[in-house]
Chains A and B, each alone.
Chain A
Amino acid sequence: DFQLTQSPSSLSASVGDRVTITCRASQSINRYLNWYQQKPGKAPKLLIYVGTGLQSGVPSRFIGSGSGTDFTLTISSLQPEDFATYYCQQSYGTPWTFGQGTKVEIK
């Protein structure tokens, strides 16, 4: 199975901060890495697909990068509505797997 490790597990940041979350795969997954945002009590929402693609309707402050085993989700200027948990997920091979999540909290 393709294991995904996210770091950090949680972070505190202020509105306007630049935030970076990393996701490392146990082996190369090419660019097949997606990012989701989940708010408490809600379903996840697709933000970034295949490494760098911005899902329709998602603000451009969400930026995905990386390939192979190392990927990054950057929020260029954190907004109040961005406080949530973020998950990476690989679509390279089944079983499709998720990272353990990164909780972004208000400082």
Chain B
Amino acid sequence: EVQLVESGGGLVHPGGSLRLSCAASGFAFTSFGMNWVRQAPGKGLEWISYIDSPSQTIYYSDSVKGRFTTSRDNAKNSLFLQMNNLRDEDTAVYYCARDNWEISVGTFDYWGQGTPVTVSS
């Protein structure tokens, strides 16, 4: 069974940093790209980052580019999101999602339960 479990969310002041993790199990992690998608309270879904399996291709949305860094450790089946210079508008639930390239890169076939991030003074 595919499982994705995020952790690391919490309350942080504006300008602060946070590192999210996503632990993957139940599938060959090294065979799939991974994504981060977030959802602000009461709002819709926003894709923010993609990383391919060898970490050679990494994409970011304009809203986080230069502040967030996505990485992965294939030996530990883990995905990470380093978030720096956090802003109020980064408050959201952050989901990791598997990218099913066999269907189409950019198709998110499994999602974690999400970890909440609140940016507030």
B-to-A contact residues, CB < 8 Å: 37, 44-47, 50, 59, 61-62, 95, 100, 103-114
Contacts and interface: CB of A to CB of B under 8 A. Distances in A.
A99 B114 contact: no
Given A94-B59, A95-B61, A95-B62, A49 B47 contact: no
A44 interface: yes
Given A43-B114, A94-B59, A95-B61, A89 B45 contact: yes
Interface in A56-107: 87, 89-92, 94-101
5 contacts: A32-B106, A46-B108, A49-B107, A94-B50, A94-B106
Contacts of B111: 43-45
Contacts of A100: 44
B106 to A, nearest CB: 3
Interface residues of A, number: 26
A46 B106 contact: no
B103 A98 contact: no
Contacts of A23: none
A28 to B, nearest CB: 15
A38 B108 CA distance: 13
A85 B61 CA distance: 23
A99 B103 CA distance: 20
Contacts of B59: 94-95
A21 interface: no
Contacts of A87: 44-45
